[in-house]
Structure 1
């Protein structure tokens, strides 16, 4: 199992969970639900620590890279992320009600089943308190140039990374299995699975749309053919699909950006930076999947509620650890606090997100080169 990627293991977990739930053997389903409940509590506990561990040193390191181009690159990355999330909301609210009719409302099975026992693991800090703490620590370390604190926070980041790599990621398929076992037992799984495929196709279509928009804008600013530029980015796009990592794809992304006329200095600066702070594809996926999960539950959410979520998501993506599914891990806190997601909804979000993670990463890295093209234009003017 360790040799398999996260997505195959997740799919195996979903299948096993459905099979166990479909058997209607209550004790097996309750055992899985018990594990999922405890694991969900542990996730709630680790989320504030994850935010502090990744956001604080990330902001501190950005502060060390002073200069006009840093501000331009970070600003463009954030604007691109917010535009992607807003676009996802507008399209998803128009299309999802057609793809997910009101009859697909989950939670109408009429059968209730509970875990054998529960275990409470309260988080050290609320999520928003952790986010503000991370901002204060990151900005403070950058302001006083504290090498000791930055080194300490980087070691803390390493600890949390180990927890994600060796505890959360390996056990995530079992957690998802428990959620799907419960849905299969209560007769809700077929409606959920039918939604999965439709949402997946909608997300991929929006990824392609935002890439075209990004390169049309970048091409108009840099006076380059946007579609020829997109063609030059195909090696990076397909590499990202295979690696599921923006960081691992950086060498290919840099080389592809240079083919689009970006100078060596800007490509080697902007692409690695954007690999950390620019996640437009991930934002599209998280926003769309969140709206789908909300619609599955038979409710809706307005723009006034989703836009602040998108604004915060653009900042919180800095906390996304460089592992498959890292972006959704960083977003769990916002989903629970700002959108009121329950443990079961968070589980569905993780399953939906990880199913397309490689395509979201490919969208992220391709957009990084579009930002590099714009930054290069500003660099040549200065």
Structure 2
């Protein structure tokens, strides 16, 4: 929540500076924005490479079909949630969001930072994604402990970079973007859109949680109200921590109160904390739709054009950093490469996402409990024939 307050302070500071500050202060802010933006671009492929490789390499082995079913349920929930979010956003937002408000409202030469530096990434996003899968699957296949340790340590380095440098610098980055929009005369229209998008995303989180638990309860003959009541401590803990990983102890206790066996809960909840991101996907898809409607250089694609992005998004966010904003940082590369987002559009995505990150995380965590219910059901069905066969013999 501290980060959200800093983000709001950055937005306000950017607006005040854009309205009243002398040119050299605005140029100094633009310089910071440029440096942070270039660092983010450089780091994106490294986030994808080391987090996905580490996540795949660390998947528990020897779990047989239950591992595959857990991963399939988590990925399926993420993809369906993202698809439904786009269908709703693409039909609702155009009537609520004014188009092309990011287009400059003043003519003439714009202010720029004092330096214009470029830090090219080591490789492209898709190269990082392919390499991550090759390394992750290879490490798991041959049990390469040395390489696994190296990948995990590289992931830890990137996480320190995120938590100690990039995330703390985001308020300055956002302040630069909002100062630029204030100078251009587009900031107030953009802020109006913020409120609409955030409310819509949170409503869709609640709808998706309801769908998961009503469907699960109907299939298992349980009360959806009772299941959701038991998961409320995990939901509210996630609102405060903004981290699925930090909420695991509470999620485990809540899941076990829903009568999920200890062994299944201990297996599925920590795993889903890394791979189940339905709430984050809802937010990213909704915010991306809004930013595309706001930006004249971008066009909102149809469902067919957006499905590929959603499918890739469910993969790139695997083992997203536990730090707030990890999911959107992992998604920036796809937003740029697949949807054509500009630097200004990416900055708006970061601001929109972080403003409700706690609600997206709470949706992720609460959904983990529903997946655990299904895995527990599959485990019981799998054990029943084995028990019957043993009794007969």
Q: Distance in 2 between matches of 1:375 and 1:84?
A: 19
Question: Which residue of structure 1 aligns with residue 388 of structure 2?
Answer: none
Q: Distance in 1 between matches of 2:280 and 2:115?
A: 35
Cα contact 1:247–1:272 (8 A) shared by 2: yes
Q: Does 1:107 align with 2:97?
A: no
Question: Which residue of structure 1 aligns with residue 48 of structure 2?
Answer: 51
Question: Which residue of structure 1 aligns with residue 345 of structure 2?
Answer: 345
Question: Which residue of structure 1 aligns with residue 13 of structure 2?
Answer: 16
Question: Which residue of structure 2 aligns with residue 356 of structure 1?
Answer: 356
Q: Distance in 1 between matches of 2:8 and 2:49?
A: 31
Q: Does 1:313 align with 2:310?
A: no
Question: Which residue of structure 1 aligns with residue 134 of structure 2?
Answer: 136
Match of 1:62 among 35, 38, 59: 59
Question: Which residue of structure 1 aligns with residue 118 of structure 2?
Answer: 120
Map of 1:1-382 to 2, 5 A cutoff? 5-23=2-20, 25-62=22-59, 64=61, 66-102=63-99, 105-111=101-107, 112-298=110-296, 299-382=299-382
Aligned-pair CA distance for 1:60: 0.8
Structure 1 pair 271–353 and aligned structure 2 pair: CA distance change class (3 A): same
Question: Which residue of structure 1 aligns with residue 389 of structure 2?
Answer: none
1:166-220: CA deviation from partner (whole Å, max 9, x where unpaired): 1101111111111111011111100110011110100000000000111122112
| Number of residues of Structure 1 aligned to a counterpart in Structure 2 | 378
SS where residue 58 of structure 2 aligns? Answer: helix
Cα contact 2:98–2:189 (8 A) shared by 1: no
Cα contact 1:250–1:271 (8 A) shared by 2: yes
Aligned-pair CA distance for 1:223: 2.0
1:95-137: CA deviation from partner (whole Å, max 9, x where unpaired): 10121133x6321412433222210101000011011110110
Aligned-pair CA distance for 1:252: 1.1
Q: Distance in 1 between matches of 2:267 and 2:141?
A: 22
Q: Which moved more, 1:85-94 or 1:62-71?
A: 62-71
SS where residue 90 of structure 1 aligns? Answer: helix
Q: Distance in 2 between matches of 1:280 and 1:65?
A: 26
Cα contact 1:63–1:139 (8 A) shared by 2: no
1:279-324: CA deviation from partner (whole Å, max 9, x where unpaired): 1000000000000000011432221221100000111111410001
TM-score, normalised via structure 2 length: 0.94
Aligned-pair CA distance for 1:23: 1.2
1:13-45: CA deviation from partner (whole Å, max 9, x where unpaired): 111111000116222222111211121111111
The two structures, once aligned, show a CA RMSD in angstroms of 1.3
Q: Which segments of 5 or more consecutive residues in structure 2 lack a partner in the other structure?
A: 383-393
Q: Which segments of 5 or more consecutive residues in structure 1 lack a partner in the other structure?
A: none
Q: Distance in 2 between matches of 1:374 and 1:38?
A: 46
Higher Cα Rg: structure 1 or 2?
A: 2
Q: Distance in 2 between matches of 1:125 and 1:280?
A: 28
Aligned-pair CA distance for 1:55: 0.5
Q: Distance in 1 between matches of 2:61 and 2:150?
A: 16
Structure 1 consecutive aligned stretches of length 4 or more whose deviation exceeds 6 Å: none
Cα contact 2:238–2:362 (8 A) shared by 1: yes
Structure 1 pair 48–255 and aligned structure 2 pair: CA distance change class (3 A): same
Q: Distance in 2 between matches of 1:65 and 1:246?
A: 25
TM-score, normalised via structure 1 length: 0.96
Q: Distance in 2 between matches of 1:66 and 1:26?
A: 61
Q: Distance in 2 between matches of 1:315 and 1:223?
A: 33
